[in-house]
Structure 1
Amino acid sequence: MPRNKYPEITEKKILDTATKLFLEKGWEQTTIQDIVDEIGDLTRGAFYHHFKSKEDIIEAVLNRLATENDPFIEAKNINGLNGLEKLRMAFLLSFENIGQLEAIKTIPKILNNPKMIAKQLIECVNSGAPDILAFIEEGVIDGSISVQYPKQTAETFMLLTNIWLSPIIFSVDTEEYLLKAKHLQALFNSIGLPVIDDQIIDTLVMVHKTLINI
């Protein structure tokens, strides 16, 4: 069998097909063989050359959906905003990725297994926190943010909002979720990061109601 000269094209084809099938059939109902059959000219061996397991392809699809419209880049390019306003805007924009929300609605319990959660924890600190930190440091300079430990605050913000506040990982009713959101609002206000305002609270509750009606 000839060596694939364009592995990135094959990987994109796999991701495109997997995303389509996951959204149509759901994560649990879609098999690796379904993806291979849908592509047509791909063998299972070729699939496993790019993705070692179904968990790997799920993670890759989620990462792709999450980065298709980077809210931090969008917020950074909006003129006239201070550091706090950019961070708040990025937070709001992250909920406007409809494709990601539709995908999340079909996520099985796989995201609750320890290995996947551990990956999310590492991603929060290594990939997400630096974007938060850039806006926090800008806010400290322009006076809109007054935290004492910018790097640690950025990491804490990512971990709490992406893990502890996740309705997928910690399943609670909307009343409890609202209390969690208000607790984070009070917590971050107390350390000089008043990023969670009433608009964000309302958006969080709306997203929660959407996700629990799966």
Structure 2
Amino acid sequence: MPRNKHPEITEQRILDTATKLFLEKGWEQTTIQNIVDELGDLTRGAFYHHFNSKEDIINAVLDRLALENNPFEKTKKMTELNGLEKLKSALMLSFTNEGQLDAIKSIPTILKSPQIIANQLKDCINTGAPDIQSFIEEGVMDGSLSIHYPKQAAETLMLLTNIWLSPIIFSVDTEEYMKKVKHLQELFNGIGLPIIDEEILRVLETFHKEICNLNRLS
């Protein structure tokens, strides 16, 4: 077999196909052989040259979905907003984009994997938190926020909203979910980070009800 001169193209094709199948069939119902069969011109051996396991491919797909629907990149362009307003905008976008619902719809149980949860925790700290920190520091500079520890506040916000508040990891009814949200509202208000207002409360309640409807339909 001739050597693949463009491995990055093959990797992108695998990711394209895997993403399509995960969204259509769901994570648990999609096998590596399904991905290979859908590609049509790739062997299992060639697949494993790019991804070592099913968890590797799902991590790559999760990263891609996060990048495609990155609320921080969109918010950075809103130069007319102050730091607090940018934080609120990013939070709002993260719970209203279609990619978020697509991901939840297609992979409802994958975050029960300890390895994937560990990767998500690292991503929260290494990828998401620095963006939040930059908005917090901007808010401190423009006077819209008063935070003593921007880095630690950013990491706390990222971990609690992405892990503890995740309806994928912790499945609760909407009443309990909103109690968690209001607890976070009090917690963040207490450290000078009033990002959860009445509008965001309504968005989060709608978001959770949509997740519950998806679960009933699946």
* 2:106 aligned counterpart, secondary structure: coil
**Cα separation, 2, equivalents of 1:99 and 1:192:** 30
Would you say the 8 A contact 1:83–1:138 is kept in 2? yes
Once superposed, what is the RMSD of the aligned Cα atoms?
1.2
Identify the residue that residue 202 of structure 1 maps to in structure 2: 202
Would you say the 8 A contact 2:145–2:192 is kept in 1? yes
TM-fit CA distance, 1:51 = 1.0
**Cα separation, 2, equivalents of 1:102 and 1:70:** 14
Would you say the 8 A contact 1:62–1:100 is kept in 2? no
Identify the residue that residue 114 of structure 1 maps to in structure 2: 114
Asked whether 1:94 is paired with 2:94, we answer yes
TM-fit CA distance, 1:73 = 1.4
Identify the residue that residue 21 of structure 1 maps to in structure 2: 21
Offset from partner CA, 1:48-78 (integer Å, 9 cap, x none): 1111111111121111111113211111111
Which residue identity lines up with residue 167 of structure 1 in the other structure? P
Which residue identity lines up with residue 38 of structure 1 in the other structure? E
**Cα separation, 1, equivalents of 2:155 and 2:109:** 25
Would you say the 8 A contact 1:66–1:97 is kept in 2? no
TM-fit CA distance, 1:108 = 4.0
Once the two structures are overlaid, the 10-residue window that deviates more, 184-193 or 68-77, is 68-77
Which residue identity lines up with residue 45 of structure 2 in the other structure? G
* 2:58 aligned counterpart, secondary structure: helix
**Cα separation, 2, equivalents of 1:176 and 1:100:** 21
TM-fit CA distance, 1:182 = 0.5
Identify the residue that residue 62 of structure 1 maps to in structure 2: 62
Q: TM-score, normalised by structure 1?
A: 0.96
Which residue identity lines up with residue 95 of structure 1 in the other structure? F
Q: TM-score, normalised by structure 2?
A: 0.94
Identify the residue that residue 163 of structure 1 maps to in structure 2: 163
Runs of 4+ in 1 over 3 A off after TM superposition: none
Would you say the 8 A contact 2:167–2:208 is kept in 1? yes
Q: How many correspondences in the alignment? A: 214
Asked whether 1:41 is paired with 2:37, we answer no
Identify the residue that residue 105 of structure 1 maps to in structure 2: 105
Identify the residue that residue 193 of structure 2 maps to in structure 1: 193
**Cα separation, 2, equivalents of 1:108 and 1:96:** 18
TM-fit CA distance, 1:95 = 2.2
**Cα separation, 2, equivalents of 1:88 and 1:187:** 16
